[in-house]
Structure 1
């Protein structure tokens, strides 16, 4: 077979003797990988002297290297004006970029904002972010951080709040480092309303606070102002009602009580009781608004994908039959550890789960969701038919129609009725991807019941007795979980804060 040489002589020649622009870009990339600012600036000076044409990638690399030589934004040094030749050089390159008519990108603005913050000009850093629209660049969290951290560091609280407002208006979600900085400036400037607000924002952002954040929280509760704020009289029934509506774990109605706070390091027992003050922590659920939104989302998706099965019929049936405290994913339970090759389906396993739920819920029947195709195959066996017919007579069985995916049915029922769901399905399949994770994971933690069969003996693993999240009690006390490596959750350190 003849071998054809496809190598282009011109290409080979170009590789041996690259054009100056190509050689510059290659060497600049090497400097970027090695974080070699001095080498990159030397290359830049050579490029300028040779009148090479630079594009936005070249400028971005150069400005980024200048900004990356500065202190970390969230470090104690951030926000102080520093003397660093890289700052002036970075601005010089940025101005050269603008003079050449090259529009900055989000990466450019982020790097220049860092330079401005390091120079002490946090106002300019924020102005850059606010005017990005004229370059058709969209800010990200990292783009806003320089101005936010700089304002917080300089105790310019109102300006820091303005940055946060701008971020929220753009749909940018703040993370713990940003909220921690805002919390600190609020503590140190004595803005008790903002402190309260950021504690709740942290609650929605993280499960456990970092040690750094927990220290800031402790400093507030140990302060003179912290002991002075609050009220002595409140409607306990109203607070309890609001907490129930919120899903437990917080009321959000402001500081309750007055007087000196006592901050202790504590642990929480397996039953959810604080080992210091004895308060029982909540297993936090999604609130009522989120629950309704979640149920509507599931129904909407199900009807798009279950058009042939008339999912709306199930919704109407569930409205008429809503007195359930548990939903059972019938196929998941009955097929657990069975031989799929033989079509194994253990009705006895399903029966054991149903019986256990019935006995432990003051003799209330759970709702078993089973696909009609599976139901019909099972009823060919007289003993199975007898059990299934008995469940149906008690209103404990709903069979989903042919062509349906029963996952939508048991999930919708559990969410709509706000009850437990018995399944080992971790709900990671493609159909659940549409639901997002904003409150799906919180809902799962509160409602999913796992199970095992050990030597044919059923063991139900109920949801945890409490949630690992900042909690505010109806009496005004607080419990804050702190990050760390522990042998088990009962060893985790919590801040227990009581009056």
Structure 2
């Protein structure tokens, strides 16, 4: 074959060469090499190939070569060549990955992560010193882990990674190391501890309840080294992240410097970083501990402006500093914040509330006269349970522990607590959000079919989480329990219609369900159009939850609804909906179902038209009827109480037996 003209511009070269019917090009991206193969019976001579190669090289084009194949190249051979190239590429990538894992930076990362997992601040600092001496370049992850450990030790407490977490507290003494630690192989450690860098044995941490308590010497050392690490991170121009800046804020907190801790949060905005709730903890904790009321509420304002909402630990701190300052307006504000976002308060918050109402300042504030009509209008406009227009009445407060009867009446003061209405628009939006989440997570058109099925066979007055019922108690699936619950609730419903039974299809199949008695049960429910079998690969939680929301009906389940799925629904509307619609169940000794209906009133802080307060306390309990409440009223000479009790363990804040004045309350309670 005679040589043909070549255009050495890269794109034209490809078009010119590959336009020849008997020429094939193989391109290797890693080496940027073009290999051209002639496919023909008539073979090129070695001299001809050499001539073409020399022309390419002299023109300075991308690497290309012609090879004399000495025979025709069949399509099968071309496919084989591509497979070989792919295998070579994979091997190169694998070698590169292995090389990265063996790099000093990767080994340092693994070693620091192991220190974080153990809570070993001294070991981490020793690794850091060794890495600096060896010239290892530290990245964002390295610095973040070091800052986390130093800040934890600086405040006196280190929680090893994955050691479990108790209730979240505002004070960052016990703080999350979320996102900093990963699982690693302890054998893959390159940097060894420098024995000379270890401090003496009296500085070793002591372990208590899964956390490490460090000595004052270690606190000071960790603080000093922590600021050194931060300065080097700035000098090295390593980009900051939220975790690193929060760690620096915690170091500032350990020195009682709230201004610096708050400045770290402000820097986040300038760097395009979104602050988290934990970012504000150091500044807020420091200002509250120092009694700096205005600065503490400036932090809260900054939080709200950036879409971060305080939870009970933050609100508890704000309540404490407000009480300490004797600022009644701030106390009132925080109580309503607790009402709207927390609803039920912890025993420690309840104790603070008791302290406030027992104080002289609390007895002095309040209006002697008010327009009751305006107060009632405000309560109605708010959906019931609160008016939000300031303290009413004057005089000493009485605080007692009590319970609420099945009729929703306080057993201490006789006030009927309110069932706060759920906003219809909120309910509709909530239903749509659940459907949207379910459609994203369910396979194919499974959930769409379920929605159409509900439109055709609904509405229902109750929905049964059948798997939860069938597995009650023994852990073995027992269909007769579903039958008992369905039959009992069926008799109680006004329409006498069967409840909707949601059950995964794997529960409907199998030898057990093929037994005549169980098969008859399935057939009965199917004939009543009361059974929906969720398909394979589906999460039946989405189905029973959506149906109960759609029909605004009762939901029979003992599911606490706390896992990741329900966390997606948020903490605003969902707890209120759950409180009004969930029916818990148990079984009597005879096997009959016992239903625990929704509470007779909303379990939330309530403010009455008389200016009195009822505060539910969050404790471990089996059923709502056992819940303890604070009943807070203005004391009056002609007022007496009945059915008050302070014998519960929840009554510890009331140490002077405020509830000892038992008796009955007369008609003057109308005021």
Shared fold per TM-score greater than 0.5: yes
Query: 2:399 corresponds to which residue?
Result: 264
Q: Deviations over 1:253-280 (max 9, x none)?
A: 2334222342433120442443332333
Change (3 A) 1:54 1:434: closer
8 Å CA contact 1:367, 1:398 repeated in 2? no
Query: 2:246 corresponds to which residue?
Result: 110
8 Å CA contact 2:303, 2:309 repeated in 1? yes
Counterparts of residues 308-457 of structure 1 (less than 5 Å): 327-329=461-463, 353=489, 356-358=492-494, 365=495, 420-421=553-554, 423-424=556-557, 436-438=569-571, 439-449=573-583
Instruction: Give the distance between the partners of 1:177 and 1:453, measured in 2 at CA.
Output: 38
Change (3 A) 1:482 1:313: closer
Q: Within the alignment, does 1:68 sit opposite 2:152 as a pair?
A: yes
8 Å CA contact 1:267, 1:491 repeated in 2? no
Query: 2:79 corresponds to which residue?
Result: none
Query: 1:374 corresponds to which residue?
Result: none
8 Å CA contact 2:155, 2:251 repeated in 1? no
- Give 1:494's match in structure 2, choosing from 629, 634, 639: 629
Q: Deviations over 1:298-351 (max 9, x none)?
A: 687899987779969969x99xxxxxxx82449979x989xxxxx99x999978
Instruction: Give the distance between the partners of 1:39 and 1:301, measured in 2 at CA.
Output: 45
Query: 2:133 corresponds to which residue?
Result: 49
Q: Deviations over 1:60-118 (max 9, x none)?
A: 2222222111337855999xxx9834323211211111111111221111111111222
Query: 2:87 corresponds to which residue?
Result: none
Query: 1:202 corresponds to which residue?
Result: 338
8 Å CA contact 2:484, 2:593 repeated in 1? no
Instruction: Give the distance between the partners of 1:62 and 1:193, measured in 2 at CA.
Output: 42
Shift, 1:161, TM fit: 1.8
- Give 1:90's match in structure 2, choosing from 202, 223, 226: 226
Q: Within the alignment, does 1:164 sit opposite 2:300 as a pair?
A: yes
Shift, 1:294, TM fit: 3.0
Tell me which structure has the larger Cα radius of gyration.
2
Change (3 A) 1:261 1:89: same
Instruction: Give the distance between the partners of 2:117 and 2:530, measured in 1 at CA.
Output: 60
Q: Deviations over 1:138-166 (max 9, x none)?
A: 32111121111112222222222222222
Instruction: Give the distance between the partners of 1:108 and 1:189, measured in 2 at CA.
Output: 33
8 Å CA contact 2:616, 2:630 repeated in 1? yes
Q: Greater helix share, 1 or 2?
A: 1
8 Å CA contact 2:387, 2:609 repeated in 1? no
SS at match of 1:84: helix
Structure 2 alignment gaps of length 5 or more: 1-94, 157-168, 175-216, 440-444, 472-478, 502-522, 635-671
- Give 2:119's match in structure 1, choosing from 30, 35, 38: 35
SS at match of 1:254: coil
Instruction: Give the distance between the partners of 2:578 and 2:105, measured in 1 at CA.
Output: 56
Q: Within the alignment, does 1:482 sit opposite 2:617 as a pair?
A: yes
Q: Within the alignment, does 1:463 sit opposite 2:547 as a pair?
A: no
Instruction: Give the distance between the partners of 1:94 and 1:487, measured in 2 at CA.
Output: 49
Change (3 A) 1:228 1:92: same
Instruction: Give the distance between the partners of 2:451 and 2:123, measured in 1 at CA.
Output: 67
8 Å CA contact 2:465, 2:557 repeated in 1? no
Instruction: Give the distance between the partners of 1:421 and 1:235, measured in 2 at CA.
Output: 39
Change (3 A) 1:473 1:297: same
Change (3 A) 1:35 1:301: closer
Instruction: Give the distance between the partners of 2:627 and 2:462, measured in 1 at CA.
Output: 33
Shift, 1:25, TM fit: 4.8
Shift, 1:200, TM fit: 2.1
8 Å CA contact 2:405, 2:411 repeated in 1? no
Shift, 1:42, TM fit: 3.6
Instruction: Give the distance between the partners of 2:328 and 2:224, measured in 1 at CA.
Output: 39
SS at match of 2:461: strand
Q: Within the alignment, does 1:151 sit opposite 2:284 as a pair?
A: no
Change (3 A) 1:398 1:425: farther
TM-score (norm 1): 0.69
